[in-house]
Amino acid sequence: MVLAACSSTAAQQSSENDTSTLNHIKIAQPCGDKPNCVSTLDARQDFQLAPFTLTEKGEKYWKAVKRVATLLPGARMVEDKPDYIRIECTSRVFKFVDDFEVQRDGNQLIVRSASRVGYYDFGVNRDRADQFRELLKAQGYLQ
């Protein structure tokens, strides 16, 4: 599958100094108004991802869950904290770089996938999040 995507700077949006009502949540920014982002924190239908609920195995093997994210096409880990990762996903053809973020919050994963540039992503970020979900389920890490 060729991933041609684009949007906002999640690296800036998820900076160490970011604050929100969920102070322990590093992924503090919801998606903007451009249709090139999806998130478990966004309540708007076009931007919302269904919850990612870890199984007991997923909770126990968090490092393995993080490694699964690196299996996404074009993925490169750029930030790895105890409960948070940021992956840059580069599309094969146009070399667009998107940000894929995952944070553990108890038995829930907060997931956000956003293009850095452009307006519309042709569903690439949702597809990426769905692929991550399926990979986690296949390993028994996700309900």
pTM equals 0.82
Structural domains counted in the chain = 1
Task: Please report whether residue 74 resides in a domain.
Answer: yes
The pLDDT profile of the chain, 143 residues, written as one tens digit per residue, is: 333 443 333 333 333 333 334 456 677 678 999 999 999 999 999 999 999 999 999 999 999 999 999 999 999 999 999 999 999 999 999 999 999 999 999 999 999 999 999 999 999 999 999 999 999 999 999 99
Residues in the chain: 143
Amino acid of residue 11: A
How many CB atoms sit inside 10 A of residue 95's CB?
Answer: 9
Task: Please report whether residue 22 resides in a domain.
Answer: no
Task: Please report whether residue 20 resides in a domain.
Answer: no
The residue segments making up the domain with residue 46 are 32-138
Task: Please report whether residue 66 resides in a domain.
Answer: yes
Q: At what angle do helices 124-138 and 62-69 cross, to 10 degrees?
A: 140
**125: CATH:** 3.30.310.80
